[in-house]
Amino acid sequence: MINRPNPDEYSEYAGRYVNLIGNEPILEILERQKEESYNLFTSLSADKALYAYSDGKWTIKQVVGHMADTERVFAYRALVFSRESITLPGFDQDVYMEQATFNSRPLEDLANELKTVRESSLYLFRSLTELQSTQKGIASGSPFSVRAYAYMIAGHELHHVKILKERYL
């Protein structure tokens, strides 16, 4: 079981994601999101997948790709911090997006990728001991615990799905 992180286990910025998560067990939330997001994204048309609600905003395909990229980064950090306390660099989502080719890929492929990334994250978080889940490292100049990343992954997805439903769909 992964307990809720304390506020000193993540940055103020990350709190915007952690604080979106209620009291339900985090692994149950992550599992449920995997299916709900997959079903949402595979229900959209190819035309809708290329929609952006404003100039300069990402398309739905780009949002899904960003969600997969970010989850990979967060899960990697959780893995590293569960094994050793080190400092890792930050990542710039806009630089990642400049190099990405999400709009040229089928949305179903991106949805499958996101689902597979989530399955991998779930295996990681389920494998951790309670002690490992509380281990910390530094990323983007701030301390983070392993368990904070589980909550950040869920909160990050919740954040983007909410925006998609409000502004894109």
DSSP string, 41-62: HHTS-HHHHT--SSTTSPPHHH
Six token digits for residue 71 = 């989850």
Looking at the domain assignment, is residue 114 inside a domain? yes
Looking at the domain assignment, is residue 7 inside a domain? no
Residue 21 sits in a domain whose CATH number is 1.20.120.450
**CA-CA distance, 106 to 149, in Å (whole number)?**
28
pLDDT of 132: 98
**CA-CA distance, 19 to 14, in Å (whole number)?**
9
Looking at the domain assignment, is residue 42 inside a domain? yes
Looking at the domain assignment, is residue 136 inside a domain? yes
pLDDT of 41: 98
SS3 100: coil
pLDDT of 1: 84
Looking at the domain assignment, is residue 2 inside a domain? no
Looking at the domain assignment, is residue 128 inside a domain? yes
**CA-CA distance, 29 to 155, in Å (whole number)?**
10
**CA-CA distance, 85 to 66, in Å (whole number)?**
26
Looking at the domain assignment, is residue 4 inside a domain? no
The series of mean pLDDT values per 10 residues for the chain, 169 residues long, is 96 98 98 98 98 97 99 99 97 94 98 99 98 98 98 99 97
Looking at the domain assignment, is residue 3 inside a domain? no
**CA-CA distance, 61 to 112, in Å (whole number)?**
12
Domains of the chain: total: 1
Q: Which domain range does residue 146 map to? A: 12-168
pLDDT of 145: 99
Task: Using a cut of 0.75, tell me whether the model's pTM lies above it.
Answer: yes
